[in-house]
Structure 1
Amino acid sequence: MTENKHIEYKQQVTPELEKEVVAFLNGNEGGTIYIGIDKKGHPVGVEEIDQVQLQLKDRFKNNILPSCLGLFDLVIEKRGGKDVLKIIVAGGYEKPYYIKKYGMSEKGSFIRIGSSSEPMPTRQIEQLFAKRTRHSIGNIKSNKQELHFQQLRIYYQGIGKDLNDQFAKNLEFLTEDRAFNFVAYLMNDSNTISVKVARYKGIDRVDLTESNEYGFESLVKATQQVLDKLNLENKTLTKITAKERQEKRLWNKIAIREAIVNAFVHNDYSKELAPKFELFDDRLEITSNGGLPEGLSKDEFFEGFSVPRNKELMRIFKDLDLVEQLGSGIPRILQFYEKDVFQFSENFLRIVLPSNVIEDADQVGGQVGGQVGGQDHNHVKELTKGQDQVFRLIEANPKISRRELAEKLKINESAIQKHTNALKEKKVIEREGKTTGYWKINKE
C-alpha cells in the first residue's frame, strides 16, 4: 500500500505526529498511521515499542482538543519480521480538533488532502465549530448528580484494574463545570434506560410471547445481560444422518456478538432511548437509535471507517475488552453475512440476521456472551433445559459464581446448586478451588 488520504507512514515517531492525528480526526472517515514503515512502504521496525505506545497515548491525551480518548487505537503488528505500531484514528464527532498549544487556528487545525496533512482554512474552522454537536452525551448534564459506580468498579476489577479517585475525570464523566454528564448517568448503578429483548410468534409483531426488560443499571451490566440472554437463544441445530452429523448455530456467534455490542456503543442516547432486540421465528432484529454519522457514506461504513457517536462509551467498552479495536465490528459481521442484512434510515440503524435452518434438526443451547469462541459438546443433548442454561453460562464465563448464575436465570441459588451438582455428576464440569475458584469444562 502507498500513502493516500487514509494511510500515513512514519519511519519513526516525530514531534509533529499530533498534526497527522488531528487531520484524520477532522476527516469524515479517519485513517491509519503506521510507525516503523518508511515512505516507500518498507518496514523498518520500532525499538522499545511498548514504551513508545505508552508515550503516544499520553501525548494524544494531553496535546489534542477536544478530547480524542476513545477515538484512537494503538495496535502492534508484525511486518517483515519487525514490530510496527499501527495507530487507528476515527473521524471525530466534535470537529474541529486542534493541537492544544496552537489553539483553534490554522496553525493548530489540520485536514487530510490527498496523502498530506494541510492547515485548515479559518473559514472552515469557523463552519465546523458552528456545527459542532451540542447533543453529545459528554456535554449533556445528568439530571441526577448523586451517582454510584459500584457495578462499573466490579467490571474493571474483573480485568485487574481499579478505578482510582480520578476515575470520573479520566473516563470523561464530567462536564466543563465539573458536574456529572450523561455518560456518568449511563454508567451509574441506577438509571431510567430500559433495554428490551422481545420474542414474537411467527414472522411479524402481532403475537408477543415473551418480553424481557433489562437496564435500569450500569450500561455495561445491561450489555452483558443481553449478551447472556441471546447466548441462551442462539441454539445449535443438529441433525445426525447415516453419513454425517450436521450442526449450525441459529446465528453466527462472532457476528451476533459484534452486532449486540455495536448497537450499545453507537446508539444515540440523547433522547434516553436504548437499542432493542427482537426475536422472530425466522430472524433476529437489532435496532439502534441514530442513523449513519454525518458525512459517513454507506460504502465507508461497510469498509470499517469508524466515527464513534459515543467516544466515551467506546473507550470504556475497549477497556473491558467488549470491543477489540476501532472499525473492526462491521467487517467482522460481513465475514459471515451480506451487506443487505443492514437497514438504514435517518433515525435508526437495524441489522437483521436470518436464522439458519436444517430440516428435521434438533435444537440445543448456544453461546454468544462472555468469551468469543467455545466448543460444541455432544453431551449437551443429554442435559435438561435448566442444566443446559447453567452449562452455557459457565462455558461463557468459567469464573461465574452461583449467585451470578441465579441472578441471570432468575432462579434461587438452591436450584443452581442442584443443576451444578447434576452437571458434575454427568462429568460435564468440575469445580477447581473454592470461593475464588473457577469451573472447568470437560472437553471429552
Structure 2
Amino acid sequence: MTLDQIKEIVAQGESHTFEFKKSTALLHAAFKTVCAFLNGEGGTVFIGVTDQGKIIGQEVSDKTQREIAEEISKLEPSAQSYLSIDYVPVDNRNKIIFIKVKAGGHIPYAYDGRPYHRVQSTSPKMPQHRYEQLIIKRGQLNHAWDSLIAIGSKPEDLNHDLVLSIVNQAVNNKELPASAINESTSKILERFKLVRDHQIINAAMVLFGKDLPLDYPQCQIKLARFKGVNKREFLDSHHLNGNIFELLEQGELFIKRHLPVAAKVVPEQFRRIETPIIPFDAIREALLNALAHRDYSIREGTINIAIYDNRLELYSNGGLPPGVTLEKIKHGFSKPRNYCIADVLHKCGYIETWGRGIQNIIELCKEARVPKPQFFADDLEFKVIFKFPHSIKPELLKEVEMSRDNLTTRQTEIVEILGKLGEASAKKLKQSIKIALSERTLYRELITLRNMGIIASKGSTTNAVWYMLKNK
C-alpha cells in the first residue's frame, strides 16, 4: 500500500473495517481492534494516524517491532497467518504502521484473555453468550453439528415411510438408482450418508425423526399472524415441532391460509388464474433455505414466520457461518453449514442448485412485480422480509385486491348470502343457494373464498360456521 492510497482511506474516516491509532503507545487498544477484525470480516489498523485523520507517522525501531510481535502472541488461537504488517514512510524519519487483518478461520479469537467484536467503528468486548456460541461452533469445525452422532437415538426413531417417500423422489430426480427403492432403511441411510460409526447422526433425526424427543427442541417453527404492523395483538399463533418435511408443510399451510390470493376467471380459456400477493415459490425457497442452513446447534433456536398487514418476515437463529457474508451469498457463494442435511434436500429435489437460493427469491419477486425482498444477517439471526404491494388488512369483500367481476357466479352468490346472514353453516348455505351443487363442490368454493381472504370459518371442520371478513 502506498502513502497516497493510505491518504485516500484516511480521508474517508474510521469505519467498520478501518481504525486509526496515533502511535504504538496505543498498541493495546490497537490489538483489541485486531482481535475484533479477526472475529468479523477483517479490516486494517493504521498506526501513525490521529483520530482526526491527520497522518503523522512514528519512528519504527527494533523495539517497536518486538512490541508488536509480543502483542500478536497474545492473540488466541494463533492468528499469525491472518495478519500482515507493513511500514510506509511518511518522511525520512517516520512511518505509518499498517496491520492488515483477514477474517479469522478459527473464531472466536481472544486478545490478552478477552474476546472483542466490531460494532460499527468501535471494538467493544464480545458478550459472553456470543463468545460461548462461537466456541461451540469452533468445536464443530471438523464435525458440523448435523454430522455428529445422534446420542441416544436409534433407527426406530425415524419415520420409515417418510424415508421411503424421499428415496422415491431422489430416484425420480436421478440422484439414486432405481434399486434403492427396494433397499432396507439402514442401507438407504448409508446412501444418504446419515450413518457414522454404525450410528445415525443428527441430520437423520432432523430430516426424518418422528415424535422428536426432548433432545431436539430446536426442531421447531413459530407461526404468527399479527393484527396491524406490530406484535401487539395476535390473530393466529402456533408453535410446532417436527422434522424438516413436517415443518415445511406446516409453514406452507399457514402462509397459504393467511396470504390473500387474487383470482380471475379467463372465460375463453375455461380456467382460473390465481395470483398470490407474494409468489409462494419465493416464500417456499426462503423457508427451505432457513430449514436447510439454520444453526441447529442452538438448542433454543427456532424458525419464525410473522405475518403483518404490510409484510411477511421469516427469520432463523444463528446468523451466517464463519467466513460467509450476505454479499457473498447474494452473488452465489455457497458454504452449507449443514452439509448432510443440504445434501439430502438436494438429492430429493427440494434444493435445486446450491448457492442459488437468494437469487431465485429475488428473481421470482421481480417476475411477479412485487417489492424486492430485503435480507438481513448478523451474528444472531438471518432474516428475509417480503413487503406486500398493498395492505392485507381484512376488508369486506377485499375490494383492494379484487373486484366482484373476479368471482364466479356461484362464489358471488355465496358471498351475498353470507353478507345477508352474517354467518352460516355449510348446510345452511347449501339450502340457500339457488344453483344446485354437491357438498364437495360447496366446500371447494368455500375453501377458495377463504384463500382469497374474503371469508373465514370457526369451529371444527365438520361443524364449521362461515362468515365474512370485515373491517376491524
Q: TM-score, normalised by structure 2?
A: 0.46
Relative contact order, higher structure (CA 8 A, sep 6+): 1
Q: TM-score, normalised by structure 1?
A: 0.49
Bigger radius of gyration among the two: 2
